[in-house]
Each structure stands twice: as C-alpha cells, then as structure tokens.
Amino acid sequence: MVRILAAVAAVGLLALLPSFTSGYVVYLANLLLTFTVLCLGLHIVIGEAGQFSLAHAAFYGIGIYVAGYCTTSLGLPFPLSMLIAGIAAALIGVVIGMLALRMRDIYLALATFAFGEAMQWVFLNWKDVTGGPNGFRIAPAQLFGWQIVTDKDAFHTVLVSAVLMLGLTIVISRARIGRSFRALRESEIAAQAMGIPVQRAKLSAFALSAFFAGVAGGMFTLFSTYIHPDSLGFSTTILVLTMVVVGGLGSIGGAVGGAIVFGLISELLRQAPSWQEIAYGLVLVIFMMYAPRGLFAFLGDLFRRKPAGSA
C-alpha cells in the first residue's frame, strides 16, 4: 500500500512539472519517460524471458516511422497512430521471435543484431517512406482535435502513456505469462517438463517487447518533429541495454531507475559523442563484473551492511 501511495504521489508531482520548469527540462522528462517504456520492453524479453535480443532500436525505429507516417500522411489521431505503431512492431517481433525457436545465447544475439543493422539500412535507403539520409519530418500530433506542438503540450500524454505501459508490465509480470517467462529464463528444459508451451512463450516475449518499443516510438513522435536513421543504430540498443543492466536485470524498478539515471548521464555525454559508446561499454562491463544485480540492488546491499565494529 505504501508503494502504491508513493507511486501515485510521484506521478502527481511529475504532472506539475511543466508548471515550474523550462521547455528543455520538459523535453528531457519526455525523453526519459520514452526511454522508460523502451527499457520495460527490453526487460520483458531479456530480464523476464532470458532471450538475448539486440534488435530493440530497430523496433523503436519501426514505431517512430509508422506512427510518424500515420500522423503526417494519414492524419490519424495520436492514440490510434501509437497503437498501430505498437502492433506493427509486435508483428515483426513475432517474425524475429521465430529465430529464438532455433537459436540460443550468442547465436540469437548475433541474429537479432544482424536484423537491427538490416533495419537501419532500410531506414537509410527507403527514401519514399523514411526520407533516407535526409531524415523524416514529423507533423504535430492530433489528440481529440487538439494539436500537440510544444514539449509541454506533449508531456501529460507522454506521462499517461508511460504510466499505462508500466502498469501493463506489472500485470504481465504477475500473470501466468510472466511466470512462464521466468521459468523459461531459468531453464528451458525444466519449463517444458512443467508443461509450459516454450515456443509460444518465446514468441510472446519477443512480440510484447517489440510492442513496447513500438509504443515508445509513437511516444517519441509526440514531442519530436524530426528523426534520422543514425539515431536508430546499434548505439541506441547498447544504451537501452546498459540502462536495463545498470538498473538491475530482471527488475521492473531497476528498468525504470536505470532509464532515468543513465538517461540523464547520456544527456550529459551528448556534448562528447565520440566518448558515448566507450562510456556505455565501460559502465556495462563494470556493473556486470562488480554489481551484476544492478545499481539499486548494489546500493541496497551497501546500506544494509553493518558498520565496521558494530555488534
């Protein structure tokens, strides 16, 4: 009950953010909320189901371009364009999930990495849809006849979307499908022996993860008017993977916390782009070696330790 009240209070305080902050701070909050949904999607496929995927940026890009096309060319309202973006990414996620039926571990990671690179090539060369190397201009979204133009206009819709996706993640985790994912993560053979449909669980994990990434792409189109394929490469996947691992692999709270903490760090490193990937890789290696359960579990253990010399 205390956690629920704290969460409600936090959302209430966040809702007041545009009233007393600048446009840049609101933009950053929109970006962090979008990263949060991205991380929740990666948490489902890696943290819950134990399927190592390196294609998350590709699904994110699919969501951005599909939602952007629905808004710009078809004039669809935002909720519908975001839903279509999520469904489109999920359908492709099912196709990629079929790889998981035949591949495991490093082979699955390499296959999904190849898909991500192939999708970036598509984003760069399908000029009629994506704008190619010139990028894609996104028209302002429409919400119940109201045009969303500024970051402050978009904030509350982005916040509500993020809260809904967080709630969906919690429901999935506590439902039977979530228990199936965790059984699959621990041992595929044992899960199959328990009667869990392993193939269906794998496909569901990839579909749900891709759906979350597609929705995050739709959220991005609310507060951004431009996207370039260079922003959807392997570095973005590594950034989101680092957020999930640093926050705590297998933890919903860790995924949210990692998105916020490391999202802020990545924004600070924006002025030094040549150092970004080095920093991400270094942080990822350090945490996997010394804090494999994530930053927040590490801090919790640190605070629970008794002072030296105490009884």
**What is the predicted pLDDT for the residue at 302?**
63
Over residues 103-141, the pLDDT tens digits come to 777 888 888 888 989 999 999 988 888 888 888 888 888
**Do β-strands 146-148 and 141-143 pair in parallel, antiparallel, or remain unpaired?**
antiparallel
pLDDT at 7 over 80: no
Reported confidence tier of residue 257, pLDDT bands at 50, 70, 90: confident
Residue 35 has pLDDT above 90, yes or no: yes
- pLDDT tens string 43-97: 999 989 888 888 899 999 999 999 999 988 888 888 899 999 999 999 999 988 8
Give CA–CA dist 131/69, Å, rounded: 11
Two structure tokens written together for 70: 């629905």
Is residue 203 within 8 Å of residue 94, measured between CB atoms?
A: yes
Structure tokens at 306: 């008794």
Grade residue 304 by pLDDT with cuts at 50, 70 and 90: low
Q: Say if residue 310's pLDDT is above 50.
A: no
DSSP state of 47: I
Task: Please report which confidence band the pLDDT of residue 163 belongs to, taking 50, 70 and 90 as the band edges.
Answer: very high
Percent of the chain with pLDDT over 90: 32
At a CB cut-off of 8 Å and minimum separation 6, what does 165 contact?
36, 37, 40, 212, 215
Mean of all residue pLDDT scores within the chain: 84
* Per-residue model confidence (pLDDT) at position 198: 86
Give the pLDDT band (50/70/90) at residue 32. very high
pLDDT at 309 over 70: no
Residue 21 burial (C-beta neighbours within 10 Å; 0-12, 13-18, 19+): middle
Average of per-residue pLDDT across 233-254: 84
Q: Model-level pTM greater than 0.85?
A: yes
What's the mean pLDDT in 274-300?
72
Identify the residue with better confidence: 261 or 275.
Answer: 261
pLDDT of residue 172: 93
Q: What residues does each domain of the chain span?
A: 22-232
Interval 171-221: pLDDT, tens: 999 999 999 999 988 888 888 888 888 888 899 999 999 999 999 999 999
Quick check: 184 and 52 in contact, CB under 8 A?
no
Instruction: Give the residue from 14, 178, 214, 245 showing the smallest Cα distance to 96.
Output: 214
Q: Is the pLDDT of residue 303 over 70?
A: no
Is the model's pLDDT at 159 over the cut of 90? yes
Does residue 301 have a pLDDT over 80?
no
pLDDT of residue 189: 85
Query: What's the mean pLDDT in 256-263?
Result: 86
Q: What was the pLDDT predicted at 205?
A: 92
Mean pLDDT of 147-166: 89
Spatial neighbors of 264 by CB under 8 A, at least 6 apart, are: 28, 32
